[in-house]
Amino acid sequence: MMKILITGGAGFIGSEIVEQLSRIPNYEIRVLDSLSEQIHGNPAEDSFLYKKIQGKCHFIKGDIRDCSLVSEAVRDVDCIIHLAAQTGTGQSMYQINDYNSVNIMGTSHLFQAISDSGKKVCKMILASSRSVYGEGAYACPEHGTVYPESRKKEAMLHGDFQMYCPYCKKPVTVIPTNEDSPVTPYSLYAFTKYAQEKMVETMCRAMEIDYTIFRLQNVYGAGQSLSNPYTGILSIFSELLLSGKALNIFEDGKESRDFIHVRDVASAIIKAVDCPSSNGSVINLGSGRRTSVLEIARLLKTCYGSCSELKITGNFRIGDIAHNTADIALAEKLLGFAPQTALEQGMKEFTDWVKTQEHKDLKYEESLAEMKKREMFIG
C-alpha cells in the first residue's frame, strides 16, 4: 500500500487527482488543505471541490505554513504531490508577503518536516507553472528561435500588442516553448514557482528523493473557482455571458493560451508517481494547441447561448504575456502523455457544469479597480 500526501488536495487539480487515485487499488490518500475561502467559498465544506474528495481520503484541514500540521501530514508517507500554493499573477504583484510565505516557506516547511520525520519519502511531485518562462519562445526570420522580453507599456498604450525580436526588432511568430527555454519570470507568482522548483531540485537530490516537476499551462474544467476573479478568464467570461453583460476582451483579442483539461493534468501527475523515467525531470503539461482569447469568448458564448456583446477594448494588464503554447514532446516521451479531452468537448462539459452552480458575485469590477489603483490595469 503506497501512502500519498496531496498538499492542496481539496483544490481544483488536487480534488481531481484524489478522484482518479481513489479508483486505483493500493493507494492510501492523505490530503492537507486550508480550504481557502477565495477558492471554496463559505462555508467551505459545502463547496463542490470539498464534496468531491469526501470519503476518498484522510483529510487534514490546515495551512501549509503550520509546521506542526505539516509534520503530521508527512508522517509515514511514501510520495508527496505538492499543489498547495497561492495562484494568480496579478494578485501576486501586491500580495507579496502572502505569496512568498505560502509558496516558498510552505515548501520549505515540507522539507523540514521530511527531514525531522526520520523516514525517507520516495518521491515528490511539484505542480509548477508555465509562467516561469515569461513570454516563452518565438521565431524570427533572421535570428531563429528567440525569447523576447515582456511588452512595453508605452507600445501597448498605442495599441501595439505585437512581439518583436530582441535583436533586429522585427515582428516574431509564437512557437511552442520547450523545457530547455530560458526561465524569465515576469511576476512574483512566477518567481515563487521557480523558487519552488529549485528548492525541490536541491533538497530532493540532497535527501535522495526522486522528483518530477510539471509546468502546467492553463488548466480548466468543472470545479475551477467561479468566485475568484484572479484565476482566469473562463470564470470571468462565464459570469458576464450568463448575465448578458458585454465582455471586455483585453488587448486586440489575439492574445492566446494553451488550455488543458484538468482530467488530463491529473492523469499525467498520477502516471509520474510510479514512472521512474520521469524522475529528475521538468515536464511541460499542456495541450500543445494555442487558442486566442477571442476564440474562447466565441466558444463560451455559443455554449451558453448568450446574447452578450464581445467588445475588443484594447485594455490590458501589466505583466500579461502575449501568447503561450507548450511543447509537450517530453511528456509524450517520458509518460506516454497525450491529451484526451478536446477543447470543444471540455468547454461544453465546463459550461454544462457552470449552469448547475449557484452564482455569487465574482467582484470582477472590484478586482479591476484594485489593479487600476496599483497601476497594474490600464483601461
What pLDDT is recorded for position 362? 65
* Domain that includes residue 331, residue range: 2-137+176-228+258-291+318-345
CATH number of the CATH domain containing 45:
3.40.50.720
What pLDDT is recorded for position 360? 65
What pLDDT is recorded for position 7? 98
What pLDDT is recorded for position 230? 64
Cα–chain center distance at 147 = 22
Residue 204's SS3 state is: helix
What pLDDT is recorded for position 238? 94
What pLDDT is recorded for position 164? 98
Judge whether 7 lies within some domain: yes
How many domains would you assign to the chain?
A: 1
Judge whether 303 lies within some domain: no
What pLDDT is recorded for position 17? 98
DSSP codes of every residue in 280-318: TEEEEES-S--EEHHHHHHHHHHHHT----EEE---EET
Judge whether 164 lies within some domain: no
DSSP codes of every residue in 26-79: TEEEEEEE---HHHH-SSGGGSHHHHHHTTSSEEEE--TT-HHHHHHHHTT-SE
What CA dihedral angle connects 183, 188, 190 and 194, to 10 degrees?
A: 70
Judge whether 270 lies within some domain: yes
Judge whether 211 lies within some domain: yes
What pLDDT is recorded for position 232? 76
Other CB atoms closer than 10 Å to residue 373's CB: what's the count?
10
Catalytic residue among 189, 194, 211, 220: 189
Judge whether 97 lies within some domain: yes
Judge whether 359 lies within some domain: no
Q: What's the Cα-to-Cα distance from 296 to each of 101, 107, 154, 346, rounded to whole Å?
A: 34, 34, 27, 12
DSSP codes of every residue in 221-278: STTS-SS-TTS-HHHHHHHHHHTTPPEEE-TTS--EE-EEEHHHHHHHHHHHHT-GGG
CB–CB of 148/188 below 8 Å? Answer: no
What pLDDT is recorded for position 38? 81
**What is the distance between the terminal CA atoms of the chain, rounded to a whole angstrom?**
55
Other CB atoms closer than 10 Å to residue 134's CB: what's the count?
22
What pLDDT is recorded for position 373? 81
In the chain (379 residues long), the average pLDDT of successive 10-residue segments reads 97 98 96 90 88 96 96 97 92 91 97 93 98 97 96 95 97 98 94 98 98 98 82 87 93 97 98 97 98 97 97 91 96 98 97 88 73 80
What pLDDT is recorded for position 361? 66
What pLDDT is recorded for position 231? 65
Judge whether 362 lies within some domain: no
Whether 189 is a known active-site residue: answer: yes
What pLDDT is recorded for position 40? 83
CA angle 314, 317, 320 (to 5 degrees): 110
The grid coordinates of residue 87 equal 495562484
DSSP-derived secondary structure letter, 130: G
Question: Can you give the pTM of this predicted structure?
Answer: 0.96
Q: What is the C-alpha to C-alpha distance for residues 333 and 326, in angstroms, rounded to an integer?
A: 14
DSSP codes of every residue in 323-341: ---B--HHHHHHH-----S
